[in-house]
Structure 1
């Protein structure tokens, strides 16, 4: 009786081990298939680029020689021969690889730390970057909001993605909200005094307006932003508000969701870090509910604009989006 029970137990253990091994084998095969498919798509795109470049060269050479009567006949013959050769190459390529499929990843936006892969069903899927490469250039190092130095921005965003997805590579759950503070090794910053922090919104408003005016002078703004800048030059009440709206709308990148994430603040924070040691404390004050997103109301409030105009500012930003 005991031997029968032991036999049944051993069989169950073997079956369980076999299932685990089969599942792992299937996963490896799936990964290998995805890598093979990705490599195939890269080869397809590379071959197409070469063929298109060849066609452009033919057209360019023909255009350059059309003014020469003596060379026209020769060029026509050579062009026909090269076109025939190109047609043969295309036919041979299609016979080898079949009809060239549309790459679904061309229409996908995956965001920092993610890359698009083509699934077995031929659909584009965003996943965490598998490898960033061994870039050891000191100039590529970045400092995070956790005061940790990373080899490059790819490694930092890859870590954030893995933590957001709950993958084994996540070293700390808090890294789900990881973002870049500035480029270079992390440094010790000066303490931000309360008086300095209280005066920071004024300095920020002044800086934003000066940047907006400089970009308008160099014709780097859109027509709508340029009109806002000119309006601010003549209307003192709009001097600060228009600059505040412009910068907030500019920071609200893809997807345009009417909020600025801590990650999207990087273009503002990075250049100011070495000049304004209160920049981190100020930006923290713009996110009082600590949801890692800054709304227009929060942005206007921390820059100490009049609350009665906040709704109008949001409407203005929506107008800008519609026009763009």
Structure 2
């Protein structure tokens, strides 16, 4: 499929995203310091929940995850069940902070995985503004700190968010052993796992549909695993 055909198909979705941003932009409040501190906690949880939704689909017979992926996400799924059971009367942000500290390794894979999903055009271990846009724009009306968040992620101000900067933003350790830190996966391994299912072989179809599925989850708290193919 040529690039012009891809653009024609993606244009309605683009218009919808821009409509959301323009329609709500007048009412978007400034991002306060305490809100900015809390935002990564919620964002990490959303990334984790995307994989949990996919795992629940496999429990109903879906093959969206292979055996190795199911084994990894199962640990996250079981951890999430404990988290929900232990929330009590605490503020959700406090619960998320404690869970991240206690179950740090369960957040590594979702953070690495999401980077691999949006690092597509080109797949160069850095995210441009256009690559981040489908993830950022739908959240602007609901999470007014997201634009500031991604701006601050770009530490060296080169208008790209590198994999190292991405990890730093989500408080995921980056260094010599990042790719295997506490059972976490590296970017190349994540990309290789998902390419086994063909999710990265057809960029025009695959990347757009994966992003659509993620946007659907973020907006409606629902996801159809069939959208990932």
Give the alignment's TM-score, normalised by structure 2: 0.57
Which structure has more RCO (C-alpha within 8 Å, separation ≥ 6)? 2
Query: Which residue pairs with 1:316 in the alignment?
Result: 186
Query: Which residue pairs with 1:222 in the alignment?
Result: 65
Deviation at residue 186 of structure 1 after TM alignment: 6.3
CA displacement 1:265-284 (0-9 Å, x = unmatched): 12321232121110101111
Q: Counterparts of 2:31 and 2:160 in 1: how far apart (Å)? A: 23
Deviation at residue 303 of structure 1 after TM alignment: 0.8
Q: Is the 8 A contact 1:232 1:238 kept in 2?
A: no
Deviation at residue 192 of structure 1 after TM alignment: 0.4
Query: Which residue pairs with 2:49 in the alignment?
Result: 210
Q: Counterparts of 2:17 and 2:46 in 1: how far apart (Å)? A: 25
Written as runs of structure 1 = structure 2, the 5 A alignment for 1:80-91 is none
**Structure 1 gap segments, 5+ residues each:** 1-105, 117-128, 144-148, 150-181
SS of aligned partner of 1:218: helix
Query: Which residue pairs with 1:187 in the alignment?
Result: 25
Query: Which residue pairs with 1:282 in the alignment?
Result: 149
**Structure 2 gap segments, 5+ residues each:** 80-102, 196-229
CA displacement 1:163-202 (0-9 Å, x = unmatched): xxxxxxxxxxxxxxxxxxx555462221100111112111
Aligned in 2, Cα 1:141/1:229: closer, same or farther, shift over 3 Å? closer
Larger radius of gyration between Structure 1 and Structure 2: 1
Structure 2 residue 7 is the aligned partner of structure 1 residue 140: no
Q: 2:111 aligns with which of 229, 244, 255?
A: 244
Query: Which residue pairs with 1:273 in the alignment?
Result: 140
Structure 2 residue 164 is the aligned partner of structure 1 residue 297: yes
Aligned in 2, Cα 1:229/1:265: closer, same or farther, shift over 3 Å? same
SS of aligned partner of 1:210: helix
The more displaced of 312-321 and 235-244 is 312-321
- The number of equivalent residue pairs is 158
More strand as a share of residues:
1
Q: Counterparts of 1:217 and 1:187 in 2: how far apart (Å)? A: 35
